[in-house]
Amino acid sequence: MPSTFNPSEMFEGVSKAEIIDRIQQLVPPGAPEPQDPEILAALQTLTAQLIWAYQADGQLESEPFTDVRDRTIHLYASACCNKIKGKTILITGGEGCVGRFLIEKLLSLGATNIISADKARCQNPEETLPHFNKEGAVTFYAADIRNFQALKHIFEVEKPQIVFHLAAQRQPGLAEIQIRETVTTSLLGCKHVIQLSEEYGVEDCIFSSTGKTSRYFTTEIYAASKKFAEWQFAKAAQEGKVTYGMVRFTHMLENSLFCEQMSKKVQQSKTVNVHAPHRYVTAQNLIEAVHLLLNSLVVSVPGKLKIVAVSNLGWPTETLEVALYKILESGKNLPIYFQGLLPGYEEPFFLGQFDWSKPTDIHLLINVLEDPFRRVDEAGDMVTVELAPFSLRVLDKQVSKLESLIVNPDFPEVEIKPALAAAEKEVIASSFAWSSAAELLKILQWGINPKKLQGYGTEIANYSEIIELLLQGMYGRLNQEVLNSAGVSADEFDELVESLSAVDSIQAEVGYLRSISRCIRQSVIPAQSVQKKSEPVPVRDAA
């Protein structure tokens, strides 16, 4: 910044919120990149002012992700070495950021035969036989996991005993564009890995997922397709002979598209665009990621899917703070503006994902229905959970239906997204039907808390689809006993019903809730309120 510029003198007493509001008035979210010299000059001044305001609050003194970069997770090295000793290890997506680091770590632990299968080298994904070359203890294959014959060839030739399945779409924004590729990679790719692991006697198979799957329901392609991958692995763990494990990653710093793009904007652009103010990201580093994958080999057990994640993610980091730090670090007087949320990043967060009766115990990658299975390892670095129960029969039906659509080249790509969401709803409905009505009622109450929603700048109508699923799961099961179990008083229940009445799409459900409220007030429970829906086979118990 110019040495003569002193924001503290020019803008004393102006809050961050006021500065951000002025920026958005100059360039409304969704507007094109500003070109007018006067607007750009005003944005430069406001950006400098915003930097000063952050500094006045003690921020921007160091790189916002410093704490994350310094974290580590205890590696159960001795147990891992015993697991991998003398084994052939296959890594799908082995040439990605995490895959490359995993290979290095495996070699340091004594692995002598590592196989990498990655589409990065593929010129034609439809080729039956993959290309490969060998570099010491590592053999690199060019193969797309959606190509069953290519993947089968690798299993046939190499006979892996341990599989790390990392291959996937990594960009939520790109997933909304490359819909068919993203969904087929998650559905068909996982199906192929599972099928071949069972067929060729793999001992352990570890899958890398995302914390975004902890959402009960999502319309985003990236997260929704990963949810189906998790469900498939949970089913395989229960029905198959292989021991399966899973890791939930969050934002990977060394593989951060956001950080890459932000650095590029600061270096090459005249303006820096940020999606929106008050957007936060949780992050982890490569050491944590690879240690989680290796530790998953140790904690996984036959018959159920154990999910591991970082135990303490620390405080989320504001994306705006990252952008301001990079501008400050560059020494340039660059203007910031807010471009608006893009597909793949625009879904509002549902507050019912967390148990607000224990706010200090919230984990950002685990939802309320998964939380009862939460365990922390002896070192305190790693948390283990299981998926909430769901119907295996419903999953089979929906996966089969989706497969028939996505492999059909005549089925429009634009229609895949609603088909994926519809199939996802069916599996989630089976999970909610298995969950207790009291649990669902608490989730609903936490999720539509008017004060909290107002603080987050959102409204109940934005969550109509997850609300409908929750109400469907509670239908016919509400009574005074359920309210007591949920810790919801009659007055609180009436307030909840009144809040829901603002959502046009659920008026029939609101009518049902009002009838329950009247009956509770009169201490008369209608017959339907004690009838339970047919319960699906729980994923942890089904044969």
**Tens-digit pLDDT profile for residues 68-125:** 988 999 999 999 999 999 999 999 999 999 999 999 999 999 999 999 999 877 666 5
Question: How much is the average pLDDT of 44-57?
Answer: 93
Ordered alpha helix ranges (H), 159-269:
172-175, 179-184, 190-199, 221-239, 257-268
Question: How much is the average pLDDT of 309-338?
Answer: 91
How much is the pLDDT for 416? 97
Question: How much is the average pLDDT of 314-339?
Answer: 91
Query: Minimal CA–CA distance to 443: which of 382, 388, 398, 378?
Result: 388
> How confident is the model over 469-480, as pLDDT tens digits?
999 999 999 999
Residue type at 273 in one-letter notation: N
Q: If you average pLDDT over every residue of the chain, what do you get?
A: 89
How wide is the angle at C-alpha 416 spanned by C-alphas 413 and 419, nearest 5°? 155
C-beta separation of 262 from 323 below 8 A: yes
Max Cα distance, the chain (Å) = 77
> How confident is the model over 218-230, as pLDDT tens digits?
999 999 999 999 9
How much is the pLDDT for 122? 65
pLDDT at 358 over 70: yes
Dihedral (CA of 194, 200, 205, 210) sign: negative
- The pTM of this model reads 0.89
